Chain A
Amino acid sequence: MRLRRLILLLLTILMTLTACSEPPPQVHKARLFTLGTLVDVSVLDRDEATAQKATNIVETELAFINTQWHAWRDSPLTKINRQLAQRKKVAIDTSTYRFIKQAQTLAAMSNQLFNPAIGSLVGLWGFHSDNTPVGPPPAEATIEARVKEAPSMASITLTPTTISSNNPAVQLDFGAFGKGYAIDRAIEKLKQAGIENAIVNAGGDLRAIGSKGERPWRIGIRHPTEAGVIASIETRGDESLFTSGNYERFFDFDGKRYHHIIDPRSGYPATGTLSVTVIHRNAATADAAATALFIAGTQQWQQIARQMGIDEVMLIDRDLTIYMTPEMATRIHIEIDDANIRIAGGQI
């Protein structure tokens, strides 16, 4: 009798195990070079063909934005810039209007710290190149002269069919916005194609939708000065995670680092901040906000975040002190020992 019970037990376990042997959805990963960077597409699905379809959608969308908005290779944007420099009014289509309008709105919300009109300054520092510049930094007088010209999105007059500027120093460079905009477009296309669980990560900045089956997507946030991650987070449904860091594009000259995030007020790379991480549903907003808050630094980041409608921020300063909003603090996991963390008080 005992043996029969044993047989029954073993067979029950056996049937349970075999019942679960239908393969669960898998994460299919693809990696491609586009938008001047490395793009990872992760899709949770049973069907590999669906994942391939998703990768094709992402590649198409990002390549389109890259072609349309490239700041230094011949593109519709460089054509617009040439005409703005001649004080000409340029005809634009609806999609161009929407793109620039969103960037202009975000620039105003950031007190112009996110300033896509300083393409001339970015180019002066050597960052309008596929290769990292080698230095030396530009002459002080040249930088001062460019800053005095005060190029700003506020000096752009935009209608649904035209763009013009009363400041010929305006040279548009959407390096701190275009990637987010492209990711947003790609995600919308994925949703339209019925893909519910995916991550699109372009050069480290990402938007994640859905989940990894029974658990959320887990994202590691890179340490700004060492190998490995400094923090991690589990995404909630549909979120973008963007980080601006001084380690992304830079050159060292005479023992000093010059990175690509230029403070439009000084004309020099912003100082004091190592990285800023922003979580927001919209990738374009997160992209612009990460740049603006990096430039805002420890003194102004709370004010600018509030103005831009950003609730979840982590800023790491040059002493590796971690500043966070309470909303970020409630969900982020710090992955290092002895972290010095300051959680913002007040309204934010």
Chain B
Amino acid sequence: MTRADYCIVLFAALLLPYLYITQWTGNEAGTTASIINGNNTTQVSLAHDHTLEIAGALGTSVIKIEGGKIRFVSAPCLGKQCIHSGWLQHAGEFAACLPNRISIALLGEAPRFDSINF
């Protein structure tokens, strides 16, 4: 066993955990949301609580971020279905205000479902 052998062992021992973490494990979801306004997409972090006002096709939609969750709290549409969708907190969930052409979706590396049927 030479000094070079020890170096190789040490290098491999350190590299293995790094490779396992970076290549073989997925990240849990829910730290970023995608907001689509018309054909423009913006990503926002859910790390800090704040409120966003976004001008859409009909008027201003208000989106709230709180505790790692996101939701519509105000919209200029008549049906308010985007507001009724409530908080989004799991990767893959989304809500949309179609009349105002604004949607939000929670992003994540490993959402449980590839698509939602409704």
Q: Are the CB atoms of A221 and B118 closer together than 8 Å?
A: yes
In the bound complex, residues from chain B placing their C-beta under 8 Å from that of A199 are 114-115
Q: Are B117 and A222 in contact (CB under 8 A)?
A: yes
Q: How far is the CB of A285 from chain B (nearest CB, A)?
A: 16
- The listed residue (B85, B94, B101, B117) touching A205 by CB distance below 8 A is B117
Q: Which residues of B (71-118) have their CB < 8 Å from a CB of A?
A: 77-79, 81, 85-86, 92, 94, 96, 98-99, 101, 103, 105, 112-118
Inter-chain residue pair count (beta carbon < 8 A): 115
In the complex, how many angstroms separate the beta carbon of A22 from the nearest chain B beta carbon?
10
Q: In the complex, A20 Cα to B100 Cα: how many Å? A: 45
Tell me if A132 and B116 are in contact (CB < 8 A).
Answer: no
Report chain B residues within 8 Å CB of A141: none
Question: A3 CA to B13 CA in the complex, in Å?
Answer: 13
Shortest Cβ distance from residue B36 to the other chain A in the assembled complex, whole angstroms: 5
From DSSP, what is the main secondary structure of chain B's interface residues? mixed
Residues of B within 8 A of A11 (CB): 8, 12
Chain B count of residues within 8 A CB distance of the other chain = 38
Contact of B118 among A18, A36, A248 (CB under 8 A): A248
Q: Is B39 an interface residue (CB 8 A)?
A: yes
How many chain A residues touch B (CB < 8 A): the figure is 52
Q: With A7-B9, A31-B36 as given contacts, are A132 and B77 in contact (CB-CB < 8 Å)?
A: yes
Binary A-proximity of B11-28 (CB < 8 A = 1, otherwise 0): 011011001100110000
Given contacts A36-B98, A131-B78, A131-B99, contact A201 B115 (CB under 8 A): yes
